[in-house]
């Protein structure tokens, strides 16, 4: 049956595609509804009909940016620039994508080009100045980095006085207790802060605990024992409380693994991280924590955690958090069967578990190599490998997953790192599961959250999905860097 074309309008340029059997909508409605994947599909169809229209490439770049597919956004914006070297939005979209990746110097080059093409545009000049300031700050930090002392070695929490007016949770003595954690969690629920004395105490104690762990942690669950794996929480404290309501608090009898990206984006990251760290202090074998790509300085500087810690505490605590994040393990193996990692697999075959154990993880994540790929890689529907849509690490196919499992005598990979509509997705012939535990991500995506329960000895995944719960009127990204306004 022949169907008339529909007009999709975005950025004042019409896009003609056939609508198939789908509802006729404008592309602006897909953006309004946060259906960015559908917008990418429609622009892809438009590009197939007219690949020389710069607007199509730039608008698809914008949609990729919204999907956090920054590598694809850079590629599309670059194509727009190749077609028209004076197309301002091409440079603007590419600069915004570089910025989202924390590549400030590359972003600055594109924003300079924007200002060169439209030198009298006040908005362009303002954004250029903001980017210049960010680059100058980074250069200054790099210059003094070699002279920095280890903050953890300079903090003595016992000398910090607790004011008589403080009426929140207290640690009596040197040990974190369950009553303290429960009181602190209730205080957080009421938007009260834990005193900085106890905050520093938790950070120093969890750092000591994490430093003693290997980069790859082996976990043994006894027969009939259970184990829960959660994905990204991203500062959504009230959804974390809901997980505990649904599944019980962490304990030696009810152990959890939180698989990275505890912070950033959500505006209750401080509350999330202190809750998880406090439980780690109390139950070293009752809760395990893996590093995600957002447990890093570059991401925290952009996506809100740095700003939140400064607002609720101080700069010194920002630096201490960065030191603690560098102590987080990179992956876990459950009962010799299930490999759990935040991102995914590698750009080369033959990587053994012993190679992961041998990684020196006590650094900021590099831009390439095994550590980078563990934190940043994604699976894709296909075979082999391809460049990552994120512009970092690699996308890997089902054959790569199969070989890694066979070579390391494993049965399943569990990873996180990507928002999924149902809170999870099973891929690669059932050998790989993505789990994401931040429902209605960033207060706008409408997705469910999920966690996975395993029971020994068979260790078959039992996936539990859940909806978002209400939270106080503090929107996601409330503490994000002002530069994020450049994304659009």
Q: How far apart are alpha carbons 256 and 276 in whole angstroms?
A: 10
Give the count of alpha carbons within 13 A of 396, CB side only: 27
Q: Which two tokens mark 395? A: 């996308």
Tell me which residue has tokens 């929480």: 233
Spot the catalytic one: 294, 417, 428, 471.
294
Q: Which residues, 6+ apart, have CB-to-CB distance to 21 below 8 Å?
A: none
Angle value at C-alpha 365, between 363 and 370, nearest 5 degrees: 105
- φ and ψ at 122, to 5 degrees? -65, -35
Among this protein's residues, is 294 annotated catalytic? yes
Q: Which residues, 6+ apart, have CB-to-CB distance to 325 below 8 Å?
A: 291, 295, 296
Residues annotated catalytic, as ranges: 294
């Amino acid at each position: 049956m022949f169907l008339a074309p529909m007009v999709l309008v975005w950025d004042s340029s019409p896009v003609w595609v056939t609508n198939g059997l789908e509802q006729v909508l404008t592309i602006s409605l897909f953006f309004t509804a946060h259906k960015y994947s559908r917008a990418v599909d429609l622009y892809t169809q438009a590009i197939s009909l007219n690949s020389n229209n710069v607007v199509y490439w730039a608008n698809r770049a914008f949609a990729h940016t919204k999907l956090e597919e920054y590598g694809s956004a850079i590629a599309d914006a670059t194509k727009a620039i190749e077609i028209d070297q004076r197309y301002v939005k091409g440079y603007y979209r590419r600069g915004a994508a570089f910025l989202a990746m924390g590549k400030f110097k590359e972003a600055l080059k594109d924003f300079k080009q924007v200002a060169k093409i439209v030198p009298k545009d006040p908005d362009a000049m303002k954004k250029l100045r903001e980017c210049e300031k960010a680059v100058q700050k980074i250069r200054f930090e790099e210059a003094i980095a070699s002279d920095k002392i280890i903050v953890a070695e300079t903090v003595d929490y016992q000398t910090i006085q607790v004011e008589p007016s403080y009426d929140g949770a207290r640690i009596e003595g040197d040990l974190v207790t369950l009553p303290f954690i429960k009181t602190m969690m209730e205080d957080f629920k009421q938007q009260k802060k834990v005193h900085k004395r106890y905050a520093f105490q938790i950070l120093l104690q969890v750092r000591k605990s994490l430093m003693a762990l290997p980069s790859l942690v082996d976990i043994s669950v006894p027969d009939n024992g259970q184990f829960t794996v959660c994905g990204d929480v991203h500062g959504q404290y009230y959804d974390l409380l809901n997980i505990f309501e649904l599944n019980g608090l962490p304990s030696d009898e009810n152990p959890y693994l939180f698989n990275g990206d505890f912070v950033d984006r959500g505006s209750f990251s401080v509350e999330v991280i202190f809750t998880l760290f406090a439980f780690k202090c109390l139950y070293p074998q009752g809760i395990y924590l893996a590093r995600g790509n957002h447990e890093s300085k570059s991401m925290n500087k952009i996506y809100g955690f740095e700003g939140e810690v400064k607002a609720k505490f101080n700069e010194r605590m920002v630096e201490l958090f960065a030191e603690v994040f560098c102590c987080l393990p990179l992956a876990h193996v459950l009962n010799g069967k299930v490999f759990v990692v935040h991102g995914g697999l590698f750009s080369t075959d033959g990587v053994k578990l012993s190679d992961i154990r041998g990684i020196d993880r006590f650094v900021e994540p590099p831009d390439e190599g095994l550590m980078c790929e563990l934190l940043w890689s994604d699976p894709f529907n296909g075979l082999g490998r391809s460049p990552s849509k994120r512009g970092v690490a690699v996308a890997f196919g089902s054959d790569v997953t199969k070989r890694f499992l066979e070579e390391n005598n494993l049965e399943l990979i569990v990873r996180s790192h990507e928002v999924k509509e149902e809170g999870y997705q099973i891929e690669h012939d059932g050998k790989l599961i993505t789990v994401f535990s931040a429902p209605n991500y960033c207060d706008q995506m409408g997705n469910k959250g999920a966690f996975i329960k395993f029971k020994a000895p068979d260790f078959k995944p039992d996936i539990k999905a859940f909806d978002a719960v209400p939270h106080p009127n503090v929107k996601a990204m409330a503490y994000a860097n002002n530069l994020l306004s450049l994304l659009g």
